[in-house]
Amino acid sequence: MKNRKLITSLILAFCSLIGFSQIKLSEQIQMSKSASQESVSLYFIDFWATWCGPCISASKYLTVLQSEYPNDLHIVSLSQENPDLVKAFLKKHDLKLTAAIDNEGETFKKYKVHSLPYGVLLNANGAKIWEGHPADLKSHDINNYLRKYKTRSDYSAFFEVLKYEIVNEEQYTPEKAFEFKEIVNVENDGLQIENEGDYVEIKGRLNEILAYGWKVNSNQVKVKEEDNKFYSLYFKKNSRGFRNMSDTIVRKLKLKNKTKKSLGEVYVLDFSSATLWDTFQIDWTDNPTRYLIGTADIKADNLSVKDISYLLGKALETPVVLKNVDDYYKLHDWDIHFKYYDLMVSSLNDNYGIRLQKEKSELISYNITKKAP
């Protein structure tokens, strides 16, 4: 009976290996110095992009996770961007994970990746056993999967590196303090913010960009569907236009903004008894965006009260109203839970002395229309 069970197990293992289709990579950029290239039990594909600020924070977290399991887990950061751009970015930010390119987007499509950062965990037979925001994959999850999945596979057997001819794209350098262009063929519909030298590039739908500039919820910015186009905007850092971002956009794009006050369901954060963290709790000095939003938590390094309220409102998909704030723009470090309301209330109060409640409150809505020609 024992022999029969052993034979059955071997047959099942052999069949699973036969049915396994290698994960395709267009180009190998770099190999991790800590992960084994020989047999490991688990592979994690980290889908990312150089323009995705939270992806950089996720990479730092995954680097720590990789160092904990050098012989059992191999993490691969996969981008669809130009290899030269990725190489320069990796060198500049000293990111140490294995990195590769998915030029045709085949692997992105295979795992239905629609937002970044995102990741999938695979066993050595190529079966997906976990997916989600990389920051939500914890050490205890890895330990549980390692106990369950014993089969191992070499890196070279797990991934197939293809070869493509890459056409280099010259990076655009703005000539003015503010420039914009409409984008017709949209690859990623989310808000994208990229810091490059003296400029910040922001891509997204008009209502999302304006909401970011005013630091309000996108539901508060009303734009007609035919006018809510996708733009790429360039701002020179610390310029007047950058400091008054949304007002600059409204003026330069020849729009009209009519504000209106009304009652709406909001989260109210009361800072009257707040004792906020300083800027020495989290250190992500080489991450220009300096925040990481998971499915349950927001972690941020050197972000203002105004910025964190915007991120929290975006995560909750509900406007956030601030009360009794002494300084909206002073920088702090943050670690905020938002998935479960009761836990969010208690953690904000315990960590920062911030009182939170959900209520009806006065809200400003921004109604954006085109000026008559």
Give the tokens for residue 189: 């519909």
Does residue 28 sit in the same domain as residue 157? yes
142 or 82: which carries more pLDDT confidence? 142
Position 373 in a domain: no
**Nearest CA among 128, 4, 143 for reference residue 72:** 143
Does residue 108 sit in the same domain as residue 233? no
Does residue 116 sit in the same domain as residue 133? yes
Name residue 334's amino acid: W
Does residue 224 sit in the same domain as residue 183? yes
Position 216 in a domain: yes
Does residue 278 sit in the same domain as residue 336? yes
**Nearest CA among 57, 47, 53 for reference residue 335:** 57
Give the tokens for residue 146: 């390692």
> Which tens digit of pLDDT belongs to each residue from 114-142?
888 999 999 999 999 999 999 999 999 99
Domain end call among 220, 253, 286: 253
Does residue 135 sit in the same domain as residue 227? no
**Nearest CA among 294, 339, 333 for reference residue 316:** 339
Position 98 in a domain: yes
Position 13 in a domain: no
Does residue 76 sit in the same domain as residue 116? yes
Does residue 124 sit in the same domain as residue 183? no
Position 2 in a domain: no
Position 10 in a domain: no
pTM assigned to the model: 0.63
> Which tens digit of pLDDT belongs to each residue from 316-344?
989 999 999 999 999 999 999 998 999 99
pLDDT on residue 307: 92
Position 133 in a domain: yes
Q: What does the alpha-carbon distance between residue 219 and residue 310 come to, in Å, rounded to a whole number? A: 12
Domain end call among 214, 238, 253: 253
Position 127 in a domain: yes
Does residue 157 sit in the same domain as residue 32? yes
> Which tens digit of pLDDT belongs to each residue from 270-296?
999 999 999 998 876 655 567 777 667
Does residue 26 sit in the same domain as residue 145? yes
Does residue 249 sit in the same domain as residue 263? no
Read off the pLDDT band of 214 (50, 70, 90). very high
Domain that holds residue 230: 172-253
Average per-residue pLDDT for the chain: 85
Residue whose pair of structure tokens reads 């891509």 in the numeric block:
203
The number of folded domains in the chain is: 3
Q: What average pLDDT does this structure show over 342-352?
A: 94
Q: For residue 33, is pLDDT > 60? A: yes
Domain end call among 253, 282, 301: 253
Bridge partners, residue 233, by sequence: 180, 202
CATH of the domain at 146: 3.40.30.10
311 with 362: CB under 8 angstroms? no
251 or 88: which carries more pLDDT confidence? 251
Does residue 303 sit in the same domain as residue 346? yes
Give the tokens for residue 93: 């930010």
Read off the pLDDT band of 233 (50, 70, 90). very high
